[in-house]
């Protein structure tokens, strides 16, 4: 089987253009940051927050050890489920806080842009009024000088 070098080069160039676009790179960075953020929050939940709570409420090592025995070797591991639900809620809470902060900043920037755009017509109108006043003053000066 013979490789068509033009097709290989075309594929390589297309892939290079696709990757070099900023959106793909930003998406990749956001994905990696999201994975790392989830690990940090999971550790916060598992290692910092949950041990005191499980000690207070269930007197077991951690929630993941909580289970309900159905038979001799059959268990429902509801503790793992509760741990995952808690981690989900914790991650969701932190993401909500971050997104609300981010969107408020974006909204403030948009409001500043709108304010700047809205003031431009007012400035133009004020400039026209000042120019007309200048013309009127110059006409008055010309009239006074012509009377002398």
Task: Please check the confidence at residue 43 and state whether its pLDDT lies above 70.
Answer: yes
Task: Please check the confidence at residue 63 and state whether its pLDDT lies above 80.
Answer: no
Furthest CA-CA distance within the chain: 121
How many whole angstroms from its chain centre is CA 53? 32
Task: Please check the confidence at residue 19 and state whether its pLDDT lies above 80.
Answer: no
Q: Indicate the pLDDT class of residue 8, thresholds 50, 70 and 90.
A: confident
CA 58/CA 29 separation, integer angstroms: 40
Q: Can you give the pLDDT at residue 114? A: 67
Q: Which sequence spans correspond to the domains of the chain?
A: 5-110
pTM: 0.50
Decide if 61 contacts 54 (C-beta within 8 A).
yes
Q: Can you give the pLDDT at residue 116? A: 63
pLDDT tens, 74-90?
989 888 888 888 888 88
pLDDT mean across residues, the chain: 81
Fold of 5-110: 1.10.1200
Task: Please check the confidence at residue 33 and state whether its pLDDT lies above 70.
Answer: yes
Please report, for the chain, how many H helices and E strands are present, in that order: 4, 2
> How confident is the model over 45-65, as a mean pLDDT?
76
Q: Can you give the pLDDT at residue 14? A: 82
Q: Can you give the pLDDT at residue 117? A: 62
Sequence-distant (≥ 6) Cβ neighbours of residue 42 within 8 angstroms: 87, 91
Query: How much of the chain exceeds pLDDT 70, in percent?
Result: 89
């Amino acid at each position: 089987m013979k490789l068509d070098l033009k097709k290989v080069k075309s594929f390589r160039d297309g892939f290079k253009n696709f990757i070099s676009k900023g959106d793909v790179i930003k998406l990749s960075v956001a994905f990696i940051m999201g994975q790392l953020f989830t690990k940090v929050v999971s550790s916060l939940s598992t290692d910092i927050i949950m041990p005191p709570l499980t000690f207070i409420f269930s007197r077991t090592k951690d929630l993941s050890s909580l289970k309900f025995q159905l038979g001799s070797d059959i268990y429902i591991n509801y503790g793992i489920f509760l741990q995952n639900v808690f981690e989900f809620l914790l991650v969701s809470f932190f993401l909500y806080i971050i997104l609300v902060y981010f969107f408020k900043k974006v909204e403030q920037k948009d409001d500043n842009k709108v304010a700047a755009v809205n003031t431009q017509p007012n400035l133009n109108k004020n400039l026209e009024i000042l120019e007309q006043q200048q013309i009127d003053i110059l006409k008055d000066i010309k009239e006074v000088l012509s009377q002398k």
